[in-house]
Amino acid sequence: MNSMKIAILLLSTSLVACQSSQNSQHKSDSVASIESGPGKIVDSRFLIVPGRSVGDISLGEDVEIVGKMLGKPDVSDAAMGKAWGIWYRTDSSIKQKEEIAIYSAYRDTSMRVKAVKQIRITSAEYKTQDGYRIGMAESETKQTFPGMEKVSAYLNEQKDTVTVFDSKQDGIGIEFLSGKSVALTVHPANQPINATYLTLHPEWKALKQK
């Protein structure tokens, strides 16, 4: 009788362990599908997740931690508890300066920690899980983000018109120049992209919306 009880106990333990292993594998597979998705973007260092993160940088993250990852910004501007930090990198293959910009503000009313509020990039090296990246046409962008709406337009240093679209519900804003996306901003979902462009590029002139 004791042998029978031991056998039943061992069988039950084995079944529980098997089920736990399956659940763990399912969780791992779910995370992998979020990380890679249809576009099979395996390298998370260059993964764009609208409303959440760009590569290793996440919204809400302590800016001091970001500084340790990226080093001292090439350009910075701060006032009234808010700040931009811009890091440049030259892509020799296309002979173009790429940038990543972090907009930050105090996380809460304690005013102790400055957190990442927006992440702006101009590099085509980063992609969403379904393959969207900088350099794609406006029509392709609207297929990927059907909720995208025009929110503002600016004249840049060359007097070219830069148009800003925002998919508020997804948490992603995209800038277009001559019909192609040239920059992308990840911001919190269901919050409109704010007017930080005049802080980032004070020389840009805002155009009135028709």
3-state secondary structure string across the chain: CHHHHHHHHHHHHHHHHHHHHHHHHHHHHHHHHHHHCCCCCCCHHHEEECCCEECCEECCCEHHHHHHHHCCCCEEEEECCEEEEEEEEEECCCCEEEEEEEEEEECCCCCCCEEEEEEEECCCCCEECCCCCCCCEHHHHHHHCCCCEEEEEEECCCCCEEEEEEECCCCEEEEEECCEEEEEEECCCCCCCCCCHHHHCCCCEECCCC
Q: Summarize the confidence of residues 166-187 as an average pLDDT.
A: 96
102: which residues sit within 8 A by CB, 6+ positions away? 57, 63, 66, 73, 84, 85, 86, 116, 118, 119, 120
Q: What pLDDT was estimated at residue 5?
A: 46
- CATH, domain 44-206, list 1.20.1440, 2.60.460, 2.30.180, 2.40.160: 2.60.460
Q: Is the pTM of this model over 0.85?
A: no
pLDDT tens digits along 26-64: 333 434 444 444 545 448 899 999 999 999 999 999 999
Boundaries of every domain in the chain: 44-206
Q: Summarize the confidence of residues 183-210 as an average pLDDT.
A: 86
Q: What pLDDT was estimated at residue 95?
A: 56
pLDDT tens digits along 86-117: 999 876 555 568 999 999 999 888 888 999 99
